[in-house]
Amino acid sequence: MDLHDYKDVAENYDRYLAVMYENENNYDGFVEFYTDLAKKYGSGGIIDIACGTGAVVLGLAENGIIADASDISEGMCEVCRRKSQEKGYDIRVFQGDMTDFDAGRSYSLAIIARSGFMHLPTPEIQRAALMNIRRQLCDGGILTLNTFDPHPAFQAEQMKNSGEDYNFRLEYVNADGDRERLYTAISYEPVSQILSGIWKFETLDESGNVIAERIRPLTMRQTYRQEMKWLIELCGFELVDLYSGYRSKKADDLTPSDLVWVLRKK
Ligand SMILES: C[S@@+](CC[C@H](N)C(=O)[O-])C[C@H]1O[C@@H](n2cnc3c(N)ncnc32)[C@H](O)[C@@H]1O
């Protein structure tokens, strides 16, 4: 099981992310970015893949665009469905692994937002996902996904971590109304390009004593952009645009970036 497969993580995801994004990368402008893409490419149907609790699909709905949504984690799907129903949207949310789901219809735009694609742990699994998503797209359909350019300085630090060197990340109030502290320990293995995270949630009583602890693992793969270009070609896509972040700034060849790829099915 990975982090997002746990029901407690799904139930608390929006709460701890809200605090995390006050201080760290908050993917500024991502809903506007996907709304613009949806208007440009989404007339044949849109799917938000690895939708999590629905940040993108619900953001699109708020802008008048109804898409389908899917995630491997039933817990995440449940939260997304509940939020959609509460807001009165008619959004189809279904559990599915992006490597093999069959939506039973085609789309002109598939979105894998924020770090969704980086949760695929090997090139073989990344390839299976791209090939499967290609099957769900109509001719000329668009897929957008993200990667981070791996950063050698961060990697060097992470390679020194034993896997249990925790850093305090944030404190938030969980869905039961209890204060929780989140710590993460992140290590990097350069041959497989795997980032292994351990997320530790400590629940506190009113005096600040730790009364419970939950350990949740997270595996992500760092993908180099040159490797990504070959993978895209191998899987029958062509590059339409490559952005640095969500403000539609074109990525240049020299600056390590949070990359947003826009690909077209060939
Ligand atoms: C960091 S969350 C992002 C969620 C959402 N897109 C957002 O922007 O908030 C990554 C999501 O990817 C999902 N995921 C991981 N592997 C997947 C797979 N093979 N197929 C579909 N979803 C997957 C996880 O369950 C998790 O909900």
Spacing, Cα 29 to ligand 1 middle (Å): 19
In this structure, the residue with its CA closest to atom 15 of ligand 1 is 119
Are residue 228 and residue 142 in the same domain, yes or no? yes
State which residues form the domain around 213: 152-221
pTM, two decimal places: 0.96
> Phi/psi at 143 (nearest 5 deg)?
-120, 130
Which CATH number goes with the domain that contains 33?
3.40.50.150
Are residue 168 and residue 246 in the same domain, yes or no? no
pLDDT 10s digits, 25-71: 778 899 999 999 999 999 999 999 999 999 999 999 999 999 999 99
Are residue 23 and residue 86 in the same domain, yes or no? yes
pLDDT 10s digits, 212-245: 999 999 999 999 999 999 999 999 999 999 999 9
Please classify residue 32 by burial: count the beta carbons closer than 10 Å to its beta carbon, then call 0-12 exposed, 13-18 middle and 19+ buried: middle
Strand partners, 30: none
Are residue 167 and residue 138 in the same domain, yes or no? no
What is the atom index within ligand 1 of the atom nearest the CA of 48?
6
Total domains in the chain come to 2
9 ligand 1 Cβ < 6 A: no
Are residue 120 and residue 234 in the same domain, yes or no? yes
Residue 134 clears pLDDT 90, i.e. is over it: yes
d(CA 243, CA 262): 8
Are residue 146 and residue 156 in the same domain, yes or no? no
113 ligand 1 Cβ < 6 A: yes
Helix (H, G, I), strand (E, B) or coil at 131: helix
Q: What is the largest CA-CA distance in the chain?
A: 60
d(CA 73, CA 13): 13
What proportion of the chain, given as a percentage, has pLDDT over 70? 100
> Phi/psi at 230 (nearest 5 deg)?
-70, -40
What is the atom index within ligand 1 of the atom nearest the CA of 112?
6
Are residue 159 and residue 42 in the same domain, yes or no? no
221 ligand 1 Cβ < 6 A: no
- Planar angle of CA 84, 1, 169, nearest 5 degrees: 75
